[in-house]
Amino acid sequence: MSKKVLYTLEYPVRCSPGILYEFLSSPSGLQEWFADGVDERDGVFIFSWDGTEEKADVIEAEENKLIRFHWHSQPKDEYFEFRIDRSEVTNQTILVISDFADKKDIKDQSQLWEYQVKDLFHRIGS
């Protein structure tokens, strides 16, 4: 089995870091754009899509800047992360997504993120 590699995607967004962070870190915010359903019990996020569930722990969080999740079903060193940066040149908010995928699947995974981020931007009015 091939080892997955880390890749990152960046999206400029017209939204304050505080509002964006709410959509990236709360069950209600994530349910708006990321999954069909999101619940949190005892610090474990439960994401559901089409009747299947995936559980993830928050392994790092910094309000209005970063949230990193680890899927229970994935190796310990893999995660997905939402980071909120600010462009020094334009002062624009930048959403940076980091995730792991097999090299051959990065293009498909990136397209899936693109689709989901478009839905996120629609929800926040960006």
Any idea where the domains of the chain sit in the sequence?
Answer: 5-124
126 has a pLDDT exceeding 90: no
* DSSP assignment string, 32-99: HHT-SEEEEETTEEEEEETTEEEEEEEEEEETTTEEEEEETTS-TT--EEEEEEE-TTT--EEEEEEE
Strands 93-101, 5-13: pairing is: antiparallel
The vertex-80 CA angle with 76 and 81, nearest 5°, equals 125
Q: What is the pTM of this model?
A: 0.92
The matching CATH number, chosen from 3.30.530.20, 3.40.50.1110, 3.40.120.10, 3.40.50.150, for 5-124 is 3.30.530.20
Report the pLDDT value the prediction gives residue 42, as an integer from 0 to 100. 87
pLDDT digits (tens, 9 = 90+) for 50-73: 989 999 999 999 999 999 999 999
